[in-house]
Amino acid sequence: MGIIGCILGFLVVIYLCYKDWSVYLATFIGAAIVIAFNTLPFIGTLSGLFADGMFVAVKSFFFMILFGCIQSQIYVESGAAFSIADTIMSKMLKPGASNTKKNVIAMSVLLVIGIILNLGGITASVVVVLMYPIALTVFEYCDIPKRFILGVLGACSYTFTLTMPGSPQVTNVAAMTSLGTSSWVAPIPGLVGAVVEIVVIIVLLNRFINKARADDEHFALHPEDPHYDRESDRPGFIKSLVPMVVVFAAFNFGNININVCLIGSILLSMILFWPQLKIKNVKALLNKGANDSIHMTLTVAAICGFAGTVTGTEAFQSMLNAITSIDMPPLIICAVVVAVMCMLTGGSSTGQLISLPLIAPKLMSLGVNVGAIHRVACFAATTLDSMPYSGAILMLLPMCHMTLKEIYKPLFITTVIATFCGTVAVVLMCTLFPGLT
């Protein structure tokens, strides 16, 4: 009954989130089902396991999301985001370009920016927030329907940038922590997996975007989305890039705490963009960025609270034991167990931290190289962690003023289908060429 309750709780949360119920109500109802089927004390579990899970999320992400939202608002109001996107697109996209060329250039530009920021150590969800105003301009320039925007931004932040060799993101770090490996293990399989994901993302999204255009879908801003007048004053291209470059350098080469990097970037942006910001209501724009961060943080916290309730049950431990006893090739066991654990916990790092200590010794006893385990686990962790109840996805809906139903299909393509293909490629490379690990 406990296992049924855990599964039913997940299904209810997924259904309610997809039907645009409040994530707070959805996770509360899901947790109540888990509590009832596992005969746990109702209030004690809510104030214990659920609240503890929420606290971990707030402690881990509040300031990163806060400063990321404020920086994003500065880039919107100053016109710096528009300056970056407009300069790049005007140089790369010539009049009369085909729809396919527009799509490929738009996705490539955003992917490159996403790679730079993610490999610079900016937290993936913060990268999405920082890039949103830039992506709006790129999408408007290429007339790509807005419902694809989180699919593309998800590709920039929630896929290979988390798992490729050398990535400083928590998905790669979780495997390092669990296995005692370096961030660069199995470099060739990891890079091959990243290339496979990029190809799948561009090919599939291009096809679906063109189909949407054929159905007479076009780009349309929400009334609350930022919109730029091309004739308005804005910072130059190089000046607009400086705060982003500073964050990248300070975190990646200076080993400075990410929150300190973001604070410094905000102050630098205020100084560099002051000619454009001084005519604005600076207090109002800073307040808006801060207020936007609250709902985003609590959305992640609610999902973590629900996951904490599930993982705290004996039924969850039983499911974990059953999955680890599956009889199949070692690296496939690794991929399946990690993917399922990340789906159950709603996070690519949490799932690895739970599953790898349990399965890694068994896999290594079968002769599997620890580097192969690391790289396969990282890629598998990003396949099922982005289900509709994922906090990393739900926290972005208020930012883009769209519903989960509108944005999830493109996100599914980039964060589930593409990552699955990348994981298959890594498993095959590590199996066929063990010397590369």
Write down the pLDDT at residue 120.
64
Q: Which is higher by pLDDT, 58 or 161? A: 161
338 with 437: CB under 8 angstroms? no
Asked if 131 contacts 156 with a C-beta cutoff of 8 angstroms, the reply is yes
Please compute the mean of the pLDDT values over residues 395-401 and round it to a whole number.
Answer: 83
pLDDT at 97: 80
pLDDT band of residue 215 (cuts 50, 70, 90) is very high
Looking at residue 279, what is its pLDDT?
A: 85
6 versus 199: which is more confidently predicted? 199
Nearest-angstrom CA–CA distance, 346 and 338: 12
What is the rounded distance in angstroms from the CA atom of residue 166 to the CA atom of residue 164? 6
pLDDT of residue 107: 93
pLDDT digits (tens, 9 = 90+) for 98-129: 889 999 999 998 998 888 777 766 677 778 88
The pLDDT value given to residue 351: 78
Instruction: Give CA separation, 422 vs 196, 223, 260, 322, in Å.
Output: 5, 37, 34, 26
pLDDT at 326 over 80: no
Q: How many Å apart are CA 332 and CA 428, to the nearest integer?
A: 10
pLDDT of 216: 93
How confident is the model at residue 60, as a pLDDT?
A: 74
> Which of 190, 172, 192 is CA-nearest to residue 182?
172
pLDDT tens figures, 60-95: 778 877 888 888 788 878 888 778 877 887 787 777
Q: Is 210 exposed, middle or buried (0-12, 13-18, 19+ CB in 10 A)?
A: middle
Give the DSSP letter of residue 227: -
CA distance 82 to 168: 28
Terminal Cα-to-Cα distance of the chain (whole angstroms): 42
Percent of the chain with pLDDT over 90: 34
* pLDDT at site 252: 65
Full-model pTM: 0.80
- Neighbouring C-alpha atoms within 13 Å toward the C-beta of 178: 27
Across the range 310-332, mean pLDDT stands at 81
Report the C-alpha gap between 63 and 82 in whole angstroms. Answer: 25
Look at residue 10 in the predicted model and tell me its pLDDT. 83
Model confidence at 331, pLDDT cuts 50, 70, 90, reads very high
Question: What tens digit of pLDDT does each residue of 254-267 get?
Answer: 878 778 888 998 99
Mean pLDDT value across residues 39-43: 92
Residue 112 is predicted with a pLDDT of 86
Q: What is the mean pLDDT of residues 50-59?
A: 84
Task: Give pLDDT tens digits for 240-252.
Answer: 888 888 877 887 6
Question: Does residue 81 or residue 367 have the better pLDDT?
Answer: 367
31-45, 127-141, 292-306 — which one is most confidently predicted on average? 31-45
Residue 378 pLDDT > 90: yes
| 292 or 155, greater pLDDT | 155
Q: Which of 13-22, 23-32, 409-418 has the lowest mean pLDDT?
A: 13-22
- Tell me the pLDDT band of 145, cut-offs 50, 70 and 90: very high
Q: Where is pLDDT greater, at 11 or 123?
A: 11
Q: Which region among 14-23, 185-194, 224-233, 382-391 has the lowest average model confidence (pLDDT)?
A: 224-233
